[in-house]
Every structure is written in structure tokens, then in C-alpha cells.
């Protein structure tokens, strides 16, 4: 089963690199450009995690995202390399994704 993660703030040039990196772990990344787009997508698609890769997000925007429901939000520094961001994301979200997958299998 593929898990979908929604990323916001990523540079377009990094999209394919991030997608390729995470396909190996059954994670499909989707990208948007703003918090408003994140909120719109969360109402349409069941994502397991949101990753934010920007310095341009304020507390009000984070609170809006948190109000959408119980979904992990991983905030990554855009100054980090793509590899570092992947490592940070893996450390912060992979455990949740794997647990969600196991819980879903148990329900089936």
C-alpha cells in the first residue's frame, strides 16, 4: 500500500528528487505551494503526513493546519540538503507511517 504525504514550500526543482527518494519506501509525495492549498487537499485526500519546507510559515498558519485533524506535521529547514531533509523526515514520520499501515492492516 502506498502512503501519501503532502509537502508545502518545496522548490519545484526538488519535487522529482523527493518523489524518487520516497517511492522506494511506498510513500507518494504530492506538492502544493501554500497553506490554503494544503487545507483544500486535506479535504479531498487522506494524507498520512504533511511536510513543511519553508521559513515563511507563521503560527497562525500552523494552527490552521493543526485544526484540520490529527495528522503529523513535520517542519524541515529549506537550508538543509535534499538528503538531510529526507533523513529528518524519515526520523520524524516513518514510525507514524509504519504504525498507521500496521493499524490499517489489522482492521482489514
For residue 68, what pLDDT is reported?
85
Burial class (CB in 10 A: 0-12, 13-18, 19+), 41: middle
d(C-alpha 64, C-alpha 2), whole Å: 26
C-alpha cell recorded at residue 41: 487537499
d(C-alpha 80, C-alpha 85), whole Å: 6
For residue 62, what pLDDT is reported?
87
Rg of the chain over Cα atoms, rounded to whole angstroms, equals 13
For residue 42, what pLDDT is reported?
92
Tell the residue number behind the cell numbers 516513518, with chain if given: 94
For residue 40, what pLDDT is reported?
94
- Compute the average pLDDT of residues 76-101: 60
pLDDT tops 50 at residue 104: no
pTM over 0.75: no
Amino acid at each position: 500500500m502506498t502512503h501519501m504525504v503532502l509537502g508545502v514550500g518545496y522548490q519545484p526543482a526538488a519535487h522529482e528528487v523527493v518523489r524518487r527518494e520516497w517511492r522506494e519506501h511506498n510513500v507518494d509525495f504530492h506538492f502544493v505551494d501554500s497553506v490554503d492549498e494544503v487545507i483544500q487537499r486535506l479535504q479531498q485526500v487522506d494524507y498520512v503526513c504533511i511536510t513543511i519546507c519553508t521559513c515563511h510559515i507563521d503560527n497562525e498558519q500552523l494552527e490552521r493546519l493543526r485544526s484540520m485533524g490529527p495528522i503529523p506535521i513535520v517542519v524541515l529547514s529549506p537550508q538543509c540538503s535534499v538528503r538531510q531533509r529526507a533523513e529528518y523526515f524519515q526520523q520524524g514520520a516513518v514510525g507514524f507511517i509504519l504504525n498507521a499501515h500496521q493499524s490499517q492492516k489489522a482492521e482489514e
